[in-house]
Structure 1
Amino acid sequence: MTKQLTQITRRGLLGAFAATAMIAAPTYSNAFGLLRGAGDIRRIKMYSGRTGESMDTIYWIEGEYIPEAIKEINHFMRDWRSNDVIRIDPRTVDIMAASHRLMDVSEPYMLLSGYRSPATNAMLRSRSSGVAKHSLHLVGQAADLRLKSRSVGQMAKAAEACSSGGVGRYSRSNFVHMDCGPVRSWGG
Structure 2
Amino acid sequence: MAGNSTTGMTRRAVLGAFAATTLTAAPTFSNAAGFLRGAGDIRRIRMYSGRTGERIDMIYWIEGQYIKDAVKEVNYFMRDWRTDGVKSIDLRTVDIMAASHNLLDVNEPYMLLSGYRSPKTNAMLRSRSRGVAKNSLHMRGQAADLRLSSRSVHQMARAATACQGGGVGRYSRSNFVHMDCGIVRSWGG
Could you state the TM-score of these two structures normalised by the residue count of structure 2?
A: 0.82
Q: Does 1:132 align with 2:140?
A: no
How far apart, CA to CA, are the structure 2 residues paired with 1:40 and 1:187? 34
Instruction: Name the residue aligned to 1:53.
Output: 54
Letter in 2 for 1:105: V
What percentage of residue pairs aligned between the two structures are identical?
75
- Greater alpha carbon shift after TM alignment, 39-48 vs 168-177: 39-48
Whether 1:145 and 2:146 are equivalent positions in the alignment is: yes
Query: Any idea what the Cα deviations from partners look like across 1:69-101, whole Å, max 9, x if unmatched?
Result: 000000000000000001000000000000000
1:161 Cα offset (Å): 0.1
Return the letter of the residue paired with 2:93.
T
Aligned pair count reads 165
Equivalent position amino acid for 1:160 in 2: T
Secondary structure of the structure 2 residue equivalent to 1:49 = coil
State whether structure 2 residue 118 is matched by structure 1 residue 122: no
Q: Distance in 2 between matches of 1:41 and 1:26?
A: 9
> Could you tell me how far apart the structure 2 residues matched to 1:39 and 1:156 are?
23
Unpaired runs of 5+ in structure 1?
1-21
Alignment deviations for residues 7-63 of structure 1 (CA, whole Å, 9 cap, x no partner): xxxxxxxxxxxxxxx9961799x97523x5596000000000000000001000000
Asked if the contact 2:19/2:38 (under 8 Å) is kept, the reply is: no
1:96 aligns to what?
Answer: 97
Q: Contact 2:89/2:141 (CA < 8 Å) preserved in 1?
A: yes
2:6 corresponds to:
none
Partner of 2:21: 25
Moved over 2 A (4+): 30-34, 36-39
TM-score, structure 1 as length reference: 0.83
- The Cα shift of 1:114 comes to 0.0
Q: Partners of 1:110 and 1:159 in 2: how far apart?
A: 15
Partner Cα distance (2:78, 2:61) in 1? 17
Aligned residues: CA RMSD: 2.2
> 1:37–1:63: 8 Å Cα contact kept in structure 2?
no
CA distance in 2, matches of 1:57, 1:80: 20
| Alignment match, 2:15 | none
Note closer, same or farther for the CA distance 1:140–1:37 as it changes in structure 2 (3 Å cut).
Answer: farther
* d(CA) in 2 for partners of 1:69, 1:186: 31
Indicate whether 1:72 and 2:73 are aligned. yes
Distance (Å, rounded) in 2 between the aligned partners of 1:39 and 1:49: 31
